[in-house]
Amino acid sequence: MIRTPETEQEWSAYYQLRYEILRAPWGQAPGSEKTLDEAAHQHFAFFNDNAEILGVGRLDILDNKKAQIRFMAVAADQQGKGIGKALMHEIEAVCEANGYLQIMLHAREVALPFYKKLGYQYIEKSHLLFDEIQHHLMSKQL
């Protein structure tokens, strides 16, 4: 099931997964997984039948036509099982239902094939995170 975390415990698991996958491997401090404006965005968590969070993603609305997907992460031992794809499809469905026409994202180099498979077009090389993780701008018209 994919939905927004609700309880304090769910929110903690949500950010913990984001931290473990996207920050801890690069020696970043706990807390570095959050931005100052989390409350302004939409949050998606994939729950298994035991109510554990196995995947996460955030949707930022940029303007009345355009949205951005950020912080996509699936638990290390659950990758490659369709969880990331399910999250992306749910986020895209929400965007379509709300009339957004374009989704952009900055993909880590390792995730480029994942987003390409989901129909995202390569635009250009973007930023380098923590001096080593090359990102690439990608976009999809809905």
> Which residues are near ligand COA by CB under 6 A?
21, 72-74, 79-85, 107-108, 110-111, 113-114, 117
Which C-beta is closer to ligand COA: that of 21 or that of 53? Answer: 21
Instruction: Output the smallest distance, CB 46 to ligand COA, in A.
Output: 9
User: Could you tell me if 67 and 100 are in contact, meaning their C-beta atoms sit under 8 angstroms apart?
Assistant: yes
Instruction: Output the smallest distance, CB 21 to ligand COA, in A.
Output: 5
Q: What is the DSSP string of 14-37?
A: HHHHHHHHHTGGGTPPTTTT--TT
Which C-beta is closer to ligand COA: that of 5 or that of 57? Answer: 57
Instruction: Output the smallest distance, CB 75 to ligand COA, in A.
Output: 8
Give strand pairing partners of 60: 68
- For residue 80, the 8-state DSSP code is T
Pair of tokens at residue 130: 């923590």
Which C-beta is closer to ligand COA: that of 45 or that of 74? Answer: 74
Instruction: Output the smallest distance, CB 110 to ligand COA, in A.
Output: 5
Question: Closest Cα to residue 69, out of 46, 37, 36, 102?
Answer: 102
